[in-house]
Amino acid sequence: MRKLIVLFFIFSGSTLFAQQKFEKELRISEAEVPAKSLDFAQSLLPDSRLKWFKETGLSTQSFEAKTKYQRKKYSVEFSLDGKLEDVEVEVKSKELSESVLDTIQDQFEEDFQKYRLKKIQIQYSGDQLDVLQFFNQCLGNDRLQINFEVVVSAKKEDSFGLYEYLFNSRGELLKKSEIILKMTDNIIY
């Protein structure tokens, strides 16, 4: 029985990065975006120039609005039918609480020989009206799901790669993926 448990941990540890992430963004016009997505993004980020993208992943598609608003980079993602998926705001590591940052860094030290933080985003999701009220400072964040999405460049087993981690508001790991930088159907020699 002990051998079975040990084998489980060996194989589960080696498949932690089996999940891969690929995203391809294609710039689109506002006319291609569902009206309710446009309305929400304009209500959330008034007087900002929104750039719209259609994002294609390995098994998903979505619309995304990106802009810089009040000196921060925002990304608002919607499903193809216009439903809000999340709002992401890029932050610096010093803007995270010390305990959350320590927990996140402990995870990276466990997973990698070397690492460097490339991007940190606070991810807000929940009911569209609750998200809008939160950003307009009319509502606390207790009705929202708040996560941290962290992109890290790291060395693992003598090779460098790019990884995306998702942590909850306490810094506990929810998901990690290796980022595929380029999709190709051709064999490259």
180, 21 contact by CB (below 8 A): yes
The pLDDT of residue 4 is above 90: no
Reported confidence tier of residue 138, pLDDT bands at 50, 70, 90:
confident
Per-residue model confidence as pLDDT tens digits over 166-176 = 999 999 999 99
Is the pLDDT reported for residue 187 higher than 60? Answer: no
pTM over 0.95: no
Query: Measured between alpha carbons, how far is 125 from 60 in angstroms, rounded to an integer?
Result: 18
* Average pLDDT of the residues in 125-132: 95
State percent of the chain over pLDDT 90: 74
pLDDT value at residue 140: 81
Task: Quick: pLDDT tens for 39-68.
Answer: 999 999 998 999 999 999 888 999 999 999
d(CA 173, CA 88): 18
- Note the pLDDT of residue 175: 96
Q: Of the candidates 147, 104, 108, 91, which has an alpha carbon nearest to the alpha carbon of residue 124?
A: 147
Largest CA distance in the chain: 63
Q: How far apart are CA 5 and CA 113, in angstroms?
A: 26
What integer is the mean pLDDT of 129-149? Answer: 91
**106 — pLDDT class (breaks 50, 70, 90):** very high
Of the pLDDT bands very low, low, confident and very high (cuts 50, 70, 90), residue 177 is very high
Q: At what angle do helices 35-44 and 128-135 cross, to 10 degrees?
A: 20
Q: What mean pLDDT, rounded, does the chain reach?
A: 87
Nearest residue to 83 (alpha-carbon basis) of 110, 61, 59, 56:
61
Query: What is the share, in percent, of the chain residues with pLDDT greater than 70?
Result: 86
User: By three-state DSSP, how is residue 20 classified?
Assistant: strand
d(CA 76, CA 40): 9
Given a cut of 50, is residue 12 above it in pLDDT?
no
